[in-house]
A and B are shown apart, each in its own frame.
Chain A
C-alpha cells in the first residue's frame, strides 16, 4: 500500500469537506422543497429520482380544499396560501404571500384577530371573524395549529367560509322571531276568547235569569187576571229564556273544552253510564223506556268529559223517541272490527267500541256526519228542544281523546252511535 503524505491527507480532508457541504446543501434544498428531482451519479451511471413524496400529495390536497389554508411566520407574514383563500379575499396569490395576514382582516375585527393570533402561538384556537375582500366582507371561522419544522416555527391557519351558514342563521333567527310574535298573538287571542267566554257566561245569563224570574212571578201572581192567550205568551217567554240559557251553557261547555286537558284518569264506562242513568231516572220512567247496559270497558280519559259524551247520547236517545213505541236503548261494548267502520288500524285490540243505539225516530243517513257540526239540528225546535251543540260537544271530546264517533240511522227505525276510544292515552 502506498503511503500518503500529510499534504495528501490534508487535501483529502478538504475534498471530503466540500462533498459534505454539497450534500448538506442538497439535503436542505430537498427539505425546503426547492428541488423536484435529483440526479445521482454512481457506478451504473446516472439515476434520476423525482420527488413524488407524500409532501406533494398534501400540497395538491390543500390546493383543492374548500377551506382556505394559510401559513404565517412569527412576524405574521403569509408564507403560504392556497388559492381558495385567495378567492375569499378576492386577490391574486402573489398579492397575498409575503404580506401581513392582518391586511386581510376587516378593520373592526382586527383586535379580535390580534387576540386570536397571540393565543394561536401557544395553543390551538378557533374564532369567528370577518375577512376584508375587495368589495365585500366575508364571514369566516379560523382555526390555527402551530407547525414546528426543524428550527422553524410557523402557524397554519384554516379558514372556513361561513357566508352560507351565517345567512341561514340570520334567516332562522328572523323566522324564529316571526314565530314568537305569532305565538304571542295567538296566546293573546286565546286569552281574549277565554275572557269573552267567561264574560258571556255570567253577564249574558244574569239578565236571562231575570227574565225567567219575573215571568215566573207574573205567572204566579197575575195569571188569574190574564186571558188564556196572554198566559201562553208568558209561557213562551219563559221557555225561550230557558232555551237561551241552555244554549249559553252549551256554548260555554264547548269553548271550555280546549281549556282543560287532564286525560289521565282510568274511567270505568260501566260505572259512568250507570251514574248517568240514575240522573235520567225520572225521564226514563216518564217515557216508559227500557235501557240495557252490557259490561263496558275501562278507558283512560277525562271522566267529566266522557260523562258529558254519554250523557248527551243517552239524552238524545230519550229525546228522539218514536211517538208510536216506548224507547228501547242499548249501550253495549263490542270488540272493534275495523272493517265494519272502514277504518285502518294497526292494532284494533287497543281500542274499545261502545255502541249506543235506540229505536227512536232516526234520521236520514245523509246527515250522519253533519249532525256533529255546531248548531246543526234536523228536527223542528217546536217539537224537540235543544241547542244543536250536544253532539258537537261529544265529538270534540272524543276527538280530544284520540277517538272517533260515528252515527248510523234509518228514519223511523232508530239510530246507532259508535264511540271508538283508545284504551290508553298517549
Chain B
C-alpha cells in the first residue's frame, strides 16, 4: 500500500520564510505542502471551510510571532476544539527559550523548534515533525 503524502500547512506572516519553506520542500514526495497562511485567524477560517474531516491537514506548523493571533494563541484554540485537537500542531520560531517551549508543550504542541538556516536544517526539522504523525 502506498502511503499517502501528509498534508502540511504553514502559518507564518513572514513571506520570505513562506517562500523558503516552499523552496526547501518542493522536492519531497512524502509531504503535500498546502498554500501558506499568514496568521491564526486565517487558519481558523480556512479549517472551518473544510467540509470533510478527511481533508483536514495532518500537520500544522505555526510561527510564534504573528499579528492578530500568534502561535501560542492559535495552538490553544486548536487544542480546545474537538475537531482540530487531534491534528498534530508544532510551533517554530526564530527564537525559542525554555519558557516558550514549556508553555507550548503544556498547550499540546508536539514539538517546539527553532527556525533552521539551511536546507539540511529544514529537512531534519520536517523529519522530526513527521515522526510524530
* B119 CB contacts on chain A under 8 angstroms: 220
Determine which residue in B16, B20, B93, B95 has the highest number of CB atoms from chain A within 10 A of its CB, and name it.
Answer: B95
Number of A residues with CB within 8 Å of any CB on chain B = 14
* B93 CB contacts on chain A under 8 angstroms: 202
* A283 CB contacts on chain B under 8 angstroms: none
Q: Is the CB of A213 within 8 A of B65?
A: no
* A252 CB contacts on chain B under 8 angstroms: 95, 97
Q: Is the CB of B94 within 8 A of A213?
A: no
Q: Which of A221-268 contact B (CB under 8 A)?
A: 249, 252, 256
Interface string of A188-229 (1 = CB under 8 A from B): 000000000000011001100110110010001000000000
Q: Is the CB of A205 within 8 A of B94?
A: yes
- The answer for the CA separation of A209 and B94 in the assembled complex, in Å, is 7
Q: Is the CB of B16 within 8 A of A210?
A: yes
| In the complex, A45 has a CB within 8 A of chain B | no
Q: Is the CB of B20 within 8 A of A202?
A: no
Question: From residue B128, how far is it (CB to closest CB) to chain A in Å?
Answer: 18
- The answer for the CA separation of A212 and B121 in the assembled complex, in Å, is 12
| In the complex, B115 has a CB within 8 A of chain A | yes
| In the complex, B45 has a CB within 8 A of chain A | no
Q: Is the CB of B94 within 8 A of A206?
A: yes
Q: Is the CB of B117 within 8 A of A213?
A: yes
| In the complex, B98 has a CB within 8 A of chain A | yes
| In the complex, A94 has a CB within 8 A of chain B | no
Determine which residue in B14, B65, B94 has the highest number of CB atoms from chain A within 10 A of its CB, and name it.
Answer: B94
* A201 CB contacts on chain B under 8 angstroms: 95, 97
Closest to B16 in A: A210
Interface string of B69-100 (1 = CB under 8 A from A): 00000000000000000000000011101100
- The answer for the CA separation of A249 and B119 in the assembled complex, in Å, is 23
Q: If A202-B65, A220-B119 touch, does A213 touch B95 (CB 8 Å cutoff)?
A: no
Interface string of B48-82 (1 = CB under 8 A from A): 00000000000000000100000000000000000
Q: Which of B90-119 contact A (CB under 8 A)?
A: 93-95, 97-98, 115, 117-119
From B97, B98, B118, give the contact of A213 (CB < 8 A).
B118
- The answer for the CA separation of A158 and B94 in the assembled complex, in Å, is 75
Q: Is the CB of B117 within 8 A of A216?
A: yes
- The answer for the CA separation of A304 and B14 in the assembled complex, in Å, is 32
* A304 CB contacts on chain B under 8 angstroms: 98
- The answer for the CA separation of A205 and B115 in the assembled complex, in Å, is 11
Closest to B119 in A: A220
SS of A interface (majority)? helix
Determine which residue in A202, A209, A249 has the highest number of CB atoms from chain B within 10 A of its CB, and name it.
Answer: A209
Q: Is the CB of A212 within 8 A of B117?
A: yes
Question: From residue B67, how far is it (CB to closest CB) to chain A in Å?
Answer: 13
Q: If A213-B20, A213-B117, A216-B117 touch, does A202 touch B98 (CB 8 Å cutoff)?
A: no
- The answer for the CA separation of A210 and B95 in the assembled complex, in Å, is 13
Question: From residue B23, how far is it (CB to closest CB) to chain A in Å?
Answer: 9
* B117 CB contacts on chain A under 8 angstroms: 209, 212-213, 216
* A213 CB contacts on chain B under 8 angstroms: 20, 117-118
- The answer for the CA separation of A212 and B93 in the assembled complex, in Å, is 15
Determine which residue in A216, A249, A252, A304 has the highest number of CB atoms from chain B within 10 A of its CB, and name it.
Answer: A216
- The answer for the CA separation of A173 and B100 in the assembled complex, in Å, is 43
Q: Is the CB of B118 within 8 A of A205?
A: no
- The answer for the CA separation of A201 and B95 in the assembled complex, in Å, is 7
Q: Is the CB of B115 within 8 A of A209?
A: yes
Q: If A210-B16, A213-B20 touch, does A202 touch B118 (CB 8 Å cutoff)?
A: no
- The answer for the CA separation of A209 and B93 in the assembled complex, in Å, is 11
- The answer for the CA separation of A201 and B100 in the assembled complex, in Å, is 12
Q: If A209-B115, A213-B117, A213-B118 touch, does A202 touch B97 (CB 8 Å cutoff)?
A: no
- The answer for the CA separation of A210 and B15 in the assembled complex, in Å, is 12
* B65 CB contacts on chain A under 8 angstroms: 202
Closest to A241 in B: B117
Closest to B116 in A: A213
Question: From residue B42, how far is it (CB to closest CB) to chain A in Å?
Answer: 20
Interface string of B25-36 (1 = CB under 8 A from A): 000000000000
- The answer for the CA separation of A289 and B65 in the assembled complex, in Å, is 41
Q: Is the CB of A205 within 8 A of B20?
A: no
* A212 CB contacts on chain B under 8 angstroms: 117
* B16 CB contacts on chain A under 8 angstroms: 210
Closest to A212 in B: B117
**Nearest 6 A/B pairs, CB to CB:** A212-B117, A216-B118, A205-B94, A201-B95, A213-B117, A205-B95
Known A202-B93, A206-B14; 18 more pairs at CB < 8 Å: A201-B97, A202-B95, A205-B94, A205-B95, A206-B94, A209-B94, A209-B117, A210-B16, A212-B117, A213-B117, A213-B118, A216-B117, A216-B118, A220-B118, A220-B119, A249-B95, A252-B95, A304-B98
Using a CB–CB distance below 8 Å, which chain A residues touch chain B? 201-202, 205-206, 209-210, 212-213, 216, 220, 249, 252, 256, 304
Using a CB–CB distance below 8 Å, which chain B residues touch chain A? 14, 16, 20, 65, 93-95, 97-98, 115, 117-119
